[in-house]
Structure 1
Amino acid sequence: MNQEFEPAILAFVCNWCTYTAADLAGTSRMVQQPNVRLVRMMCTGMVDPKYVIKALLSGADGVLVSGCHPGDCHYINGNYKARRRVKLLNEILPQFGIDQRRLCLTWVGASEGNEFAATVNNFINEIRELGPLDVRGMAAL
């Protein structure tokens, strides 16, 4: 493990649940590592697999997709669409030489600020253990 390595994480989060939980975690001053950049989506069902691949090829060491719990989607079935897309990505990423653990799908409700902070911290620690993502030469694939 590289003690100097600080992973860069991009998180695609649902506006209605996970983003609200992230806001709650921040306003409640819950301890979170600062390695995550949030991309606020109206729904995780809008997260195109191309966005995830582009993020990883552009310097993100890990990507988090997080939305409403199944059955609680503001748009009825967006989180089920996200789950199918992440499953597809988990089959595709190894073809690019990318460890599947660099992509994480979670469900965090609006009132679960503590769950958001724990999810972020755990994912950052897991990516830190994996080390930096070396994408040199992958973009040409």
Structure 2
Amino acid sequence: MSFEPEITAFSCIYCGYTAIDTAGALHLSYPASVKIVRLPCTGKLDALYLLSSFEQGADGVLVVACPLGNCHHVRGNERARARVEHVQELLKSIGLESDRVKMVFVSGGQGATVAREANALVTRVRELGPSPLGAAGHPASIAAQASVAPGRQLRNHVASGHGSLA
């Protein structure tokens, strides 16, 4: 049985989701294991959302935002980018792969880009294997189950204000 990564994709309701919708309209495919979560703006995306995704069983996270300089909420995508980079650094600091989290900036007509980036993330995460932070979501092994604790510790670290970004 091959491993199929679970990917949580956060998208703004403007360019990001329009690009995702365009991918569908063009019959471009990406795995059904990519689950879309719509946000009013990626600026609403908090580091805790990203970490909670792993805790809830995601193996990777994709953030789909408006192009830089073209956010409908002025600088929301810039704030999201800072949070994504922060979470990537946190993952590295505990010995996990930072490329489990990816952010792309697209205009509404870039459905092909979204499909390509989603497929690329799924391929990369498949190479990396299941996330140890969300091992409870994968009935793999007792050793994997024991590794859930670091994910909660990381989430608590961010929640305590050590990892928050304005």
Native 8 Å contact 1:57 1:138 kept in 2: no
Equivalent residue for 2:102, pick from 95, 101, 104? 104
SS class of match (1:39): strand
What RMSD over aligned residues (CA atoms) do the two structures have, in Å?
A: 1.4
Alignment of 1:48 with 2:46, yes or no, is: yes
Determine if contact 1:13/1:66 at 8 Å carries over to the other structure. yes
Greater relative contact order (CA < 8 Å, ≥ 6 in sequence):
1
Does the Cα contact within 8 Å between 2:28 and 2:115 map onto a contact in 1? yes
- Matched to 1:92, the amino acid is L
Map residues 74-93 of structure 1 onto 2, 5 A cutoff: 74-93=72-91
Are positions 1:11 and 2:9 aligned together? Answer: yes
TM-score by length of 1: 0.92
Q: C-alpha displacement at 1:89, in angstroms?
A: 1.2
Aligned pair in 2 of structure 1 residues 96, 21: CA closer, same or farther (>3 Å)?
A: same
Report SS of the residue matched to 2:150: coil
Instruction: Give the match's secondary structure for 1:138.
Output: helix
Identity across aligned pairs (percent)? 37
Equivalent in the alignment of 1:59: 57
CA distance in 2, matches of 1:139, 1:68: 29
- State the 1:139 CA deviation: 4.1
**Alpha-carbon distance in 1 for matches of 2:64, 2:29:** 19
Instruction: Name the larger-Rg structure.
Output: 2
| Equivalent of residue 138 in structure 1, options 150, 155, 166 | 150
Question: Deviation per CA, 1:81-135, whole angstroms, max 9, x where unpaired?
Answer: 1111112112212234431011001112101111111111111101111111123
Contact 1:65 1:105 in 2 (8 A): yes
- Cα gap change, 1:41/1:73 in structure 2, threshold over 3 Å: closer, same or farther? same
Using the size of structure 2 for normalisation, the TM-score is: 0.79
Greater share of helix:
2
CA displacement at 1:60 relative to structure 2: 0.3
Which is further off, 88-97 or 40-49? 88-97
**Secondary structure of 1:72 counterpart:** coil
Residues matched between the structures, number: 139
Structure 1: any 5+ residue segments left out of the alignment?
none
